[in-house]
Amino acid sequence: GMLYTAAAMAVRYFDGSYADPTNGLALDVAENLRPAIGTKGAEAVFSSNAFILICMLSTSYMAHFNAPKFYLELKDNTIARWNTVVVTSFSISILFFIAIAAMGFSTFGGSCSGLILNNYSTKDSIMGFSRAAVAFALVFTYPLAFVGCRDGILEMLQVPKEERTDSKVNNLTYLILGSVTAVALKITDLSFIMSFGGATLGNALIYVYPAIMFRSAVKNMGDNATTAQKLEVYVAMTFAALGIAFGGIGAKMALGKLM
């Protein structure tokens, strides 16, 4: 679904179907979603809005709790093979999402919606199929993140594994899904979810938690910790502080945009 969407967005960018906001398919789109290409160029990166983008990018790491599971399920799971999997998958993902972001922004500029498919006309048959393909992809990838969330809640509640009966797990599943659905019905701006989630959970997973874990590990090593490791603790905590600062600014800006 995502691969088709990337190809469809590229087709619409290169054929110029939305190049003129006063003609063609662009007329079938709400005025605030029509192409609005600015003139600031690369200097726009230094805008305060860049913090929102940084927070959105932080969501890339919010499924990392699945890494141990994938490592254990990898055939002949040596570190070398695992590194190959990580480098290959991350490289493909980075290139893939750069291409989608570039096509979307180059087509619609500053009017890009939090869900870029909203910018395309409902009469656009190519993008109409893309909506169905993305929905299909989301339905079957959602459990990867959901299972981690549910298991994490069980761990925080300190529920022993032998007490995690089907009924308890199912009831928790219904509760979480119901809560998420209720929030989704109220908050429809996907860009806010991405930016606020990245500013809070994303930054915590990237900068804060790893630094705290590393500091704790070095502390537990006692006199066996090397001088380099002890110095690295200060570097890690500096990044943690930067993560908190970036997260605070990004969260404030995301909330301000929502208001």
- Considering only residues 149 and 178, tell me which one the structure prediction assigns the higher pLDDT: 178
CA distance 79 to 86: 10
* Residue-wise burial string across 33-68, b where 16 or more C-beta atoms lie within 10 A, e elsewhere: bbbeeeeeeeeeeeeeeebbbbbbbbbbbbeebeee
- At residue 101, the pLDDT reads 84
pLDDT averaged over every residue in the chain = 81
Q: Quick count: other Cβ atoms within 10 Å of Cβ 127?
A: 21
Say what the pTM is: 0.63
Dihedral, CA atoms, 191, 192, 196, 197, nearest 10 degrees?
-60
Q: Of all residues in the chain, what percent carry a pLDDT higher than 70?
A: 91
Average pLDDT over residues 168-197: 82
The yes-or-no verdict on residue 241 having pLDDT over 70 is yes
The yes-or-no verdict on residue 228 having pLDDT over 80 is yes
CA angle 60, 120, 19 (to 5 degrees): 105
Average pLDDT over residues 208-233: 86
- Considering only residues 38 and 109, tell me which one the structure prediction assigns the higher pLDDT: 109
